[in-house]
């Protein structure tokens, strides 16, 4: 990859039952980071191990495949770098941590990059439990 990746921070996974998956995973030893309900959907983050990536269960994500979300130093520079080697940006998005952009590989893998611009906002979610 041409973009300088700083780390695989999150694995966003679509699910039809966020609450059920949280219960299942935490019973098996995962640590719940947050479980929020907002904007007509539920999203929860669990840590399966102490290091990244965290697993983010999202009721609003379409599709069946997870999205591998990597942190980059500069979103715009990374998008430009990936475009220069033929990657096509698909969708820009916002997560509590900052802005991002999604891509697909020819085989259908979902990869995204984001720039950490709001670390303090993400920290405020830790421990929140709406459901």
Residue 53: is its pLDDT beyond 80? yes
Classified as helix, coil or strand, 125 is helix
Q: Which domains does the chain have, with CATH numbers?
A: 5-125 (3.10.180.10)
Which pLDDT belongs to residue 123?
87
Give the Cα separation of 2 and 119 in Å (integer). 25
pLDDT tens figures, 23-50: 999 999 999 999 999 989 999 999 999 9
Give strand pairing partners of 115: 72
pLDDT tens figures, 57-81: 999 999 999 999 999 999 999 999 9
Percentage with pLDDT > 70 across the chain: 98
């Amino acid at each position: 990859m041409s973009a300088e990746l700083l780390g695989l921070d999150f694995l966003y996974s679509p699910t039809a039952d966020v609450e059920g998956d949280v219960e299942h995973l935490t019973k098996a030893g995962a640590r719940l980071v947050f479980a929020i309900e907002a904007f007509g959907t539920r999203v929860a983050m669990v840590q399966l191990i102490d290091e990244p990536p965290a697993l983010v269960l999202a009721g609003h994500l379409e599709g069946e495949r997870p999205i591998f979300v990597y942190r980059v130093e500069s979103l715009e520079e990374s998008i430009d770098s990936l475009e220069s080697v033929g990657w096509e940006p698909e969708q820009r998005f916002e997560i509590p941590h900052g802005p991002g952009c999604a891509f697909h590989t020819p085989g259908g893998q979902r990869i995204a990059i984001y720039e950490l611009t709001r670390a303090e906002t993400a920290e405020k979610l830790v421990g929140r439990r709406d459901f």
